Amino acid sequence: MLVVEEEARDPYEVAREAALRLLDVRERSVAELRELLRRRGYPDAAIEKVLARLSEIHLLDDARFARLLTKRCQVKLRSRVQAAIELERKGVSKELAAAALEEYYGSAIGDETPEREIAIAYARKRIPSLRGLPYEKAYPKLARALSNKGFSTAVAVEVTKAIMAELAGENPG
């Protein structure tokens, strides 16, 4: 009965309500919301009209979404590379992604200061799993963990050396 009532309604209204429910759960990119609505079978014309209206009234804003997602990646101690991949996966334009990455990770990939701080915070969370391991096992384990998180080799090596020195300071001799 509900399906018959929904089919009789304006496809724009039905798609708009679905979009609002999806945005109620969390912020989304335009591309992500478009894909979700398409998968649910709404007509393309209705979807595009909904997306245009939601963008017009600022309920859908890729720049805001990019900043929120990038900040969340930084808080979760993810590398710039991981944040960039996530932004691309969510369909954020390269320009908006670059602006958000610059805001939270620094002005350029060559500027590794903010990323180094994130890497150090991530590495410190890993210290309990390194305690008691010989240097020969702890060093590559931490360096590999940092590399797997997307940190550059230079950052991974520098941070691993610093953390290993901290661990050696805890257990002198």
For 106-137, write each residue's pLDDT tens digit.
765 555 678 889 999 999 999 999 988 999 99
Share of the chain above pLDDT 90, in %: 80
Amino acid in the structure at residue 108: A
pLDDT for the residue 114: 83
pLDDT for the residue 121: 94
